[in-house]
Chains A and B, each alone.
Chain A
């Protein structure tokens, strides 16, 4: 009897894990489809997406002994009678020989995908997938990481996205 229960339990756990993995794949797939559509729209510029552009250190000022810095941020959003809806942020930054490229994709005001890469090093590129604020997948260099163990890095991702959202919202208060 005990062996039977144990077998059933193992099978149930196996099924549950498999279903969960399938759900994760489905969520990731959904996010990727949405991402591809959005990126194609941004690149083609033939859509309704409006770009709010920010460039820091436009005149390339550089003090003695300090590294050259330049940051460009592109906020893509739609403007409807119901209000503005932020879809994607593209962040490019240079500080001396270091560079950062990041993307933050939003779905109804919540971060659904984040990508961050330093010095064009794909082996350390971070990817965060979220569905309705719930973490679906977090990977570094295309290798999936344990979500609980990566709690701090995920929190930082969300914190930056939230700060960017604050910047965007402050500009959208029309004068």
Chain B
């Protein structure tokens, strides 16, 4: 029976000294963390994924008896959301210092480079204000610190760089896990896994678990599938194999070794299901599993990758609803939503330009212009009473025609 606990979680270091690699970064972080009179109230840990940034924060908080208040990229990090979470963490700092169990809070914002878009509007400036006002340590982590948006945060933070973990260190760690799990692994097999991970400890441990969980011996031959994963298998090929699988296990294996974008995969599977399952009951059952996968994808975000297994399992169950009914069919790829966006790009650009003009003239956002103003302009155009408004908004004749011909606003 497959063990349910991920080895990444099972062997996650609890102490700072147990974290593999990046000794200088660990020392710099601990020095910053322990210093009560730190010159910079915030620290930005940056480096590639899977090298121990989040683990270090949790391990340090655990060792120094701090409680971590965490916000990661799966949370919306708008001004309001950050203030709601971080505000109390900062405000209750003084009360917490009286507790013998906790020395206070640590505010940890993971994946700050992911703060973008309308939903995170005001996020960076709010973080800056919190850093300024905060009486607790503020820790941020990012994979790419060079994006323009992070420049203000970098100015007020101590910067600690994390590097890829080296191959010998990963091999040594894998040897230790094999020893604890009672797996006899060939050195070359572990070497292949470590090389394949490209310095990402998390992916190396996941690979080891996927290969070694069901067997007590691991040979170089067993790792051939890992090389296949590094190959760029197209979405088309992944879907073709996915829909023709014979068993749940085959589907799980295929998905865990595929490199395609998970969101595109989910949409493509959803679009192609009616072509694959002609029986309505099978189709309903398959959609049920896909909807569950969609739910897990939402919960994964860009941080909770430990849920990826459930995402894959749900999709695999959808593929394996009735393997015997498989008939070859012509796939739709890319997903319908992407095709629709492509075909409507011209229309969306025109609409955006009109809304921008209205917004500028009426001092409202484009979204407000679209929802609150455009329907009335369309009514005026239909009644031939829009000449004054159109000239005041400086809309071109073709733009006025576009509005009047639009079916849905």
Our verdict on whether A and B bind, yes or no, reads no
Give the B-binding residues of A (Cβ under 8 A).
none
